[in-house]
Amino acid sequence: MRYWLFKSEPDTWSWTDQVAKGDAGEEWNGVRNYQARNFMREMKLGDLGFFYHSQKDKALVGIVTICAESHPDSTTDDPRWDCVDVKAVAPLPKPVTLDQVKNDPRLAEMALVKQSRLSVQPVTADEWQILCDLAGYEVS
DNA sequence: GCCAACGTTGGC
DNA sequence: GCCAACGTTGGC
């Protein structure tokens, strides 16, 4: 089991949109970055990820799980681009802001801080636990 | 709205 | 294969 982080502009695709899709989930398409694509290719069914709102919110707002492993991105004919499907698992009781992440020395190595433009990124098990604690989310 | 960071494209 | 030009992302 691995952990990930997905970034989205809420104006384009928000947590609310994701929740509306329910258990059917939705393609995490539109990624045109090799690093991000490569991470998606590593994802396995049942892996968990945070859903991050960039721009206005700048906060982790929910938890998603991988419900389909890497497959061609339906929004392009270009065979280079693959994506996974994700579905909402639960909202975070207390969204964790970018400020909180930046100000926590335990989270200083996160790509969210160091590589602000990377839209799909891995999260370590330690970071996952710390972030769940900050969010008031009980890991079951 | 601006701009820094950075990834991609395309000419040479 | 290099690198300048360009486009995009995302924090501020």
Nucleotide nearest A98, CA–C1', reads C11
Q: What is the pLDDT of residue A113?
A: 94
Residues A124-133 have pLDDT tens digits of: 999 999 999 9
Nucleotides in chain B near protein beta carbons (<7 Å): 5-8
Q: What is the pLDDT of residue A140?
A: 64
Nearest-10 Cα torsion for A89, A94, A95, A97: -150
A68: phi then psi, degrees, rounded to nearest 5: -155, 130
Taking alpha carbons only, the member of A61, A65, A132, A133 closest to residue A98 is A61
CATH of domain A3-135: 3.10.590.10
What is the pLDDT, as a whole number, of residue A139? 72
Query: What pLDDT, on the 0 to 100 scale, is given for residue A41?
Result: 94
Write the burial class of residue A96 (CB in 10 Å: 0-12 exposed, 13-18 middle, 19+ buried).
Answer: buried
CB A123 within 8 A of CB A110: yes
Rounded Cα–Cα distance for residues A66 and A43 (Å): 7
Q: What pTM did the predictor assign?
A: 0.94
pLDDT score, position A42: 95
What's the burial of A88, exposed, middle or buried (CB within 10 Å: 0-12/13-18/19+)? buried
**CB of A117 lies under 7 Å from some atom of strand C:** yes
Residue A55 beta carbon within 7 A of nucleic strand C: yes
Confirm whether any atom of chain C, the nucleic acid strand, is less than 7 Å from CB of A58: yes
pLDDT at A43: 96
Q: How many Å does it take to go from CA A27 to C1' B12?
A: 40
Q: What mean pLDDT is reported for chain A?
A: 94
Residue bearing tokens 């949109």:
A17
Q: pLDDT tens digit string along A23-78?
A: 999 999 999 999 999 999 999 999 999 999 999 999 999 999 999 999 999 988 88
CA A42/CA A4 separation, integer angstroms: 10
**Domain chopping of chain A, boundaries:** 3-135
